[in-house]
Every structure is written in structure tokens, then in C-alpha cells.
Structure 1
Amino acid sequence: MSTTHRSAESSARRVRTSPTMKVVARIGYAATGLLHLVLGWIVIRMGTADSSGEDADQSGALTEIASQPFGRLALAVVAAGLAALVIWRVLTIVRGGPARERLKAAGKAAVHLVLAVLAARYAVGLGEGGQDEEGLTRQVMSYPAGRIAIAAVGAGLLIAGIVHVYIGWTKRFQQDLRASRRPEISRAVRSLGRAGYWAKGAALAVLGVLFGIAAWTADPEEAGGLDEAFAAIGAQPYGSVLLIITGVGLVCYGLFCFAQSRYVRL
């Protein structure tokens, strides 16, 4: 290992373990929780007869937040918190360690970066009128091997959904958490984590299937975003009940993210 590489890893460790960086990272977890709370509430409302046409994706949640008093200020804080989580993940990669952990950090950094950019756009009023998922999918399909790229996205989303369900089932999320001094709080956090990971995993899996269908049929309208995934859930027998359950699960995930901001090991 070169001297420059060792120096970079050492600097990354120092920044990552600094008190300031830990505070902003915890704010990032709370920001993620806020987005999932709003998203879950929107999905629950979709499960009622009078709001079935409501958008239920990240942009829908951001629109909901932006429409509230001081909503744009809240989104600016959310964007800053998510950006801090991106930096945190990048420092995790730079400091070295097992390849599996570094790959996991890279994936989470990419997700948080997208959400941070979206939150920042809505904070400054640029979120509305952007290109939708259908238009983006159509553009990608117009390129050589575009269908392969869309199929790969669908496979990635499906795998991510399965992994989320697996993490919820095995409670592997507990590995990154400190136990509370109060056993009842630890039990509540475990329950929130399991329900949240199951619900988010189901939504991601459905979204992955939709992208796969779009790639197979070469029809970008089959892809869409999370709102189409939730609409597909709602179209099933007892769909309204399933939507409400999914929404409650996403609310649980949001609350779990707030618990992470308190109990995650940094």
C-alpha cells in the first residue's frame, strides 16, 4: 500500500470519527426518516377511496413537504442531512475495509445522493415539471442496448427488494445499532425495523418487476416509478387494504430511521 493511500485512509478515519461529522450523519438518518414518514402517509391515503389517484413516490413526498409552512426550509435541511450521509458513505469507502462493506456503502451513497439532489431541487422550487420516469425510460430505450439497461435496473431493484425483505426477516439491521438501556425501546426498534424493511422491500420488488416488464415488452409506459408500483399493489384483490398495510410499513421504516439517528453506531 502506498504512503499516499495510507494517508488518505487515515484522513478519512479522522474526519469520519469527528463529533461534527457524527452529528450531521445522524441528521441525515432523520431526514431519510422524514421522507419515508410522508411517503407512507401518502400511500395510506391512496388506500382510501377518495385519494386513489395521488402520486406516491419520492417526488410526491417532497411535494407534500414543500407545500407546508416552512416546507422548503425543511427540505433544505433534509438535503443537507442526506448530503452528509453521502459524505459519510464515501469516507467509509476511502478508509478501507472488507470489499462487501465498501460496495454496500457505495450503493447507499448513490441512493442518498439522488435523494439529496431531489430534496435540494424542491427546496429551491425546481422540483416540479422535471422529466418523469416514463420519459426517462423511453429515452434510455432509444439507445443501443437500452432495453438491456432497463432490464438491469429492474433486476437491481428486484434484488434490492428481496434483500430488504431478507434483512427484515433476519433482523440483520440490528448489527449497526446500539442497544437501548430500556429493553422496551429495543423491542420497539426491532419491530419497526422488521415492518419497515418488509414494506420497502415489497415496494422495490414490485417496481423491479415493472421495469422488467417494460424491458421485455419494449413499452416504457410499463415502467413508471413508485407511484405505479403502489398502483399495481392497489389493483390486487383487497388492494386498498394492502396499500394501507404497505403505507403503515413505510411509516414504520421512517420511525426506524429516526431510531437509527439515535442508536446507530458511528
Structure 2
Amino acid sequence: MADISTQVPAPPPTWVEHLAKTGLVAKGVVYCLVGALAFMAAFELGSTSTQEAGKIGIFQFILEQPFGKWLLGLVALGLLCYTLWRFIQAFYDTKSKGSDTKGTAMRLRYIFSGLVYGALAYLAARLALGSGSQTGSGDSRETIARELLQQPFGQWLVGILGAGTILAGLYQIYYGYSDKYKKNVRGPGLKEDLEEKMIRAGKVGYMARGIVWLIIGYMFLQAALHANAQEAGGSSSAFSFLESAAYGSYLLGAVALGLICYGVFMFMRAKYKPLYT
């Protein structure tokens, strides 16, 4: 009989685990702040607008606090750690996903996640060092849409990106709702009540995140249909979209609380969840 230990992924080196935990904490900080500012914008607390609730907006918010440059620098470093961890997962296959179609797709998802958070780390670092625009130089997704529309078959490219974002949003909602997600949360050594708290926080968080991605994807499709890059947008634009709907304040408030739950889930995952499962 084959040794069962050969079927279980080996724990990562200590430095990789520290890298992952630092990255997850930084990601949790970002999502908690995004959710908190979006909630404040929903109910007009503290003169906060939805434009200030996007990731660029929260970097500016951190920068304006006492010792803001140092705090933002720490966030940038944490996001860089998250980026490196995602690349390690992808290229060294630390979760034993394999090289078949499903495994390759999962490893490509890790690479994409690493690229996204690497870009955020770069932006946060530039702002912390004082070399970035105070306004964030506009919406990055609008810039992407504009660049794509200038290419051959540009409307198709933007449309494909929008459709892909919608599919990613649907997957986030499914991942949060499904039993598969619950199995991935559970791990050895966790108390049952702690598992349930993680499950609830993660479920609400993933679904809220998926809703935001669905709206972002919809806006990309509108930009493609009308060949107008200004119709594309990121999370701040998605928050504005929600706020403008019927009962918009309550919808935005609910999604904002979900994003805070996602941030809390990142904190809990960093502290309790085995990172090699």
C-alpha cells in the first residue's frame, strides 16, 4: 500500500508561511477599510463619498492619517508579500493542483491574483513615497478600457474582459455559497465554533465581493457596447451604481458590511487556517 503521506502536501517553509500571513493581513486591512468607507458613503456619514471608497481612495485615506506614509508603506509591503505568495503558489504548485486543465487554470488564477495585488502594492508604494498622483490618476479600469478600445477589435476585447469579470463574480458567489467552500475552510486543530465563524464571515464576504465584480463586469460590457471607456469603472464606480439604485443606501450598506466580513475572514485565515491546504 502506498504511503498516504505522499498524497498530503508538505507544510511550506516557515518564511513562506510568514509571507502568506503578512499578505493576508494586509489584504484584510484593505477590504475592511473599503467596506467601512463604502458603508459611511451609503449613509452619508463623515462626508465620505463612494469615490473615496475604492482601493485608491483608501490608500489616500491611510496617507492622510498620522504617520500615514509609514502606515501606507506597511500596507504596500504586506500586499507585496501577498503577491509573492501567490506567485510561489502558482510556480511551485504548493497546493498540489497538478498540471492538468483544472490545475493549470487554478495556477493561472494565482498568477492573475498576484499581478492584481502587485499593481496595488506598486501604487501604494508610490503614494507612500510621494511620487504618485494624489487623485490616483483616474480610474485604472477606465484606463484599461480606453487602451483596449484603441486596439484592433477593441470593443470585442473590452467585452471579453467584461464577460470574464462577470464569470469571476459568479464564481465568487458560488464559492461563498457552496459546500466546497466550507470544506476548504475547515482544517485540523480548529474548534467548531471558530470554524463556523470563519464560514459565516467568508460566505458573506465572498458573495459581497462577487456582487461588486458582477457590477464591474456589467460596466465593462456597457463600455464595449458603446465604445466609451468612461462607462467602465472599478469598485468605487460599482458602489456609485449600487447607491443610485432603488433602496441604494441599504444595498450599498449591505455589500459594504459583506466586504468588511471578507476582510475579517482574511485576518482569521491568517491566524488559524492551514496555508498548505
TM-score (norm 2): 0.84
Which residue identity is paired with 1:220? A
1:104 to 109, 126, 146: 109
Partner deviation per Cα, 1:146-165 (whole Å, 9 max, x = no partner): 22221122112111111110
1:78 to 75, 78, 86: 75
Inter-partner Cα distance in structure 1 for 2:192 and 2:186: 13
Tell me whether 1:158 sits opposite 2:154 in the alignment.
Answer: no
5+ long unaligned stretches in structure 1: 1-12
2:124 to 119, 136, 150: 119
Inter-partner Cα distance in structure 1 for 2:240 and 2:64: 23
Work out the percentage of aligned pairs sharing the same amino acid: 29
Which residue identity is paired with 2:193? E
Inter-partner Cα distance in structure 1 for 2:129 and 2:242: 33
Q: Secondary structure at the match of 1:69?
A: coil
State the 1:145 CA deviation.
2.1
Inter-partner Cα distance in structure 1 for 2:219 and 2:151: 20
Q: CA RMSD in A?
A: 2.2
Q: Is the 8 A contact 2:175 2:206 kept in 1?
A: yes
Q: Is the 8 A contact 1:171 1:190 kept in 2?
A: no
Inter-partner Cα distance in structure 2 for 1:117 and 1:176: 30
Tell me whether 1:141 sits opposite 2:146 in the alignment.
Answer: no
Q: Is the 8 A contact 1:179 1:186 kept in 2?
A: no
Partner deviation per Cα, 1:87-114 (whole Å, 9 max, x = no partner): 2222222224232332232222122212
Q: Secondary structure at the match of 1:203?
A: helix
Partner deviation per Cα, 1:199-239 (whole Å, 9 max, x = no partner): 11001100100010110011222112221111111111110
Structure (1/2) with the larger helix percentage: 1
Inter-partner Cα distance in structure 1 for 2:144 and 2:104: 32
In structure 2, the partner of 1:196 is: 205
State the 1:139 CA deviation.
3.5
1:240 to 249, 254, 262: 249
Inter-partner Cα distance in structure 2 for 1:247 and 1:29: 19
Inter-partner Cα distance in structure 2 for 1:136 and 1:186: 39
Inter-partner Cα distance in structure 2 for 1:67 and 1:113: 22
1:34 to 26, 29, 35: 29
In structure 1, the partner of 2:137 is: 131
5+ long unaligned stretches in structure 2: 1-8
Inter-partner Cα distance in structure 1 for 2:73 and 2:186: 27
The total of aligned residue pairs comes to: 253
Which residue identity is paired with 2:267? F
Matches within 5 A, 1:1-12: none
Q: Which stretch shifts more, 225-234 or 144-153?
A: 144-153
In structure 1, the partner of 2:214 is: 205
1:21 to 1, 4, 16: 16
Q: Which stretch shifts more, 54-63 or 134-143?
A: 134-143
2:258 to 249, 254, 258: 249
Inter-partner Cα distance in structure 2 for 1:66 and 1:180: 39
Judged with a 3 Å threshold, the aligned counterparts in structure 2 of structure 1 residues 180 and 66 are, in CA distance, closer, same or farther, namely: farther
Q: Which stretch shifts more, 171-180 or 157-166?
A: 171-180
In structure 2, the partner of 1:221 is: 230
Judged with a 3 Å threshold, the aligned counterparts in structure 2 of structure 1 residues 258 and 179 are, in CA distance, closer, same or farther, namely: farther
State the 1:79 CA deviation.
1.7
